[in-house]
Amino acid sequence: DGGITQSPKYLFRKEGQNVTLSCEQNLNHDAMYWYRQDPGQGLRLIYYSQIVNDFQKGDIAEGYSVSREKKESFPLTVTSAQKNPTAFYLCASSIDNRNTEAFFGQGTRLTVV
Amino acid sequence: EDQVTQSPEALRLQEGESSSLNCSYTVSGLRGLFWYRQDPGKGPEFLFTLYSAGEEKEKERLKATLTKKESFLHITAPKPEDSATYLCAVQAVSGGYNKLIFGAGTRLAVHP
């Protein structure tokens, strides 16, 4: 089945640690996105990538980093510089950036302990 | 500023009681409006894309409509399994790329 797989489903981070969230898609989509979801707020764009080896900052990129070495994979690293990382993180993909009809993974809930 | 506002924040319906959810938007040149359904702890599930005023799309008990300033998601004779958060998003251009701007969602609870 085609889709987007995020792992892990739950992640706990100690203060000062970097953690990496995985996102893999087998939809052959060029564009991939990372969003953050907080209670009572709309999804906010962290980073996006239109093509392999290319990515741009979204609206709330500070404290996050990404890579896009393969078309299928777009991992997100939450660094210690992110002051409030506890949130629900969603990865999405679309055919390309001109068509943002996006399909989402099941999310990773990150909690700082 | 591009913006999406959804109302109400929460809606409680009895099974079979039809209603509508609202999504109002301000965007420079609408390129697409999207509806998603999100269950607790899950990723959003794509429902509909609307591109131009007057367009309508249906799926089972859901019907989405679009005007120049807002979209409605009509739910006809809802069932408890329709309980979820419904998200609206518009496609906007920012810094030379297309992005989705999301509303905060409407939490729908349908009781038997």
CB contact under 8 A, B43 and A105: yes
Cis peptide before A39 (omega within 30 of 0): no
CB contact under 8 A, A43 and B34: no
For residue A78, the Cα-to-chain-centroid distance in whole angstroms is 10
Q: How far apart, in whole angstroms, are the C-alpha atoms of residue A105 and residue A91?
A: 6
Per-residue model confidence as pLDDT tens digits over B44-88: 999 999 999 999 999 999 999 999 999 999 999 999 999 999 999
Under 8 Å between Cβ of A23 and A105? yes
Residue whose token pair is 């893999």: A24
Interface test with B, best of A43, A48, A106 (most B CBs within 10 A): A43
Q: How far apart, in whole angstroms, are the C-alpha atoms of residue A33 and residue B83?
A: 27
Q: Does A103 touch chain B (CB under 8 A)?
A: yes
CB contact under 8 A, B89 and A43: yes
3-class DSSP assignment, residue B105: coil
- Closest CA–CA distance from residue B42 to any residue of chain A (Å): 5
- CA nearest B101: which of B21, B9, B36? B36
Residue of B nearest to A6 (CA): B43
Per-residue model confidence as pLDDT tens digits over B35-45: 999 999 999 99
Higher pLDDT, A98 or B14: B14
Q: Does A105 touch chain B (CB under 8 A)?
A: yes
CB contact under 8 A, B43 and A104: yes
The pLDDT, as a whole number, for residue A1 is 60
Output the average pLDDT for chain B: 94
The C-alpha torsion from B62 through A35 and A102 to B51, rounded to 10°, is 70
Low-confidence ranges of chain A (pLDDT < 70): 1-2
Contacts of B57 (CB under 8 A, 6+ apart): B48, B49, B50, B63, B64
Q: How far apart, in whole angstroms, are the C-alpha atoms of residue A6 and residue A23?
A: 5
The C-alpha torsion from B66 through B69 and B71 to B72, rounded to 10°, is -110
3-class DSSP assignment, residue A60: coil
CB contact under 8 A, A97 and B97: yes
Assign B28 a pLDDT band (cuts: 50, 70, 90): confident
Average pLDDT over residues B24-32: 88
3-class DSSP assignment, residue A46: strand
Q: How far apart, in whole angstroms, are the C-alpha atoms of residue B57 and residue A31?
A: 25
Which pair of structure tokens corresponds to residue B66? 């679009």
3-state secondary structure labels for all residues of B33-48: EEEEEECCCCCCEEEE
Residue B39 carries which side chain, given as an amino acid letter? D
Which pair of structure tokens corresponds to residue A25? 């898609």
Under 8 Å between Cβ of B6 and A43? no
The pLDDT, as a whole number, for residue A39 is 87
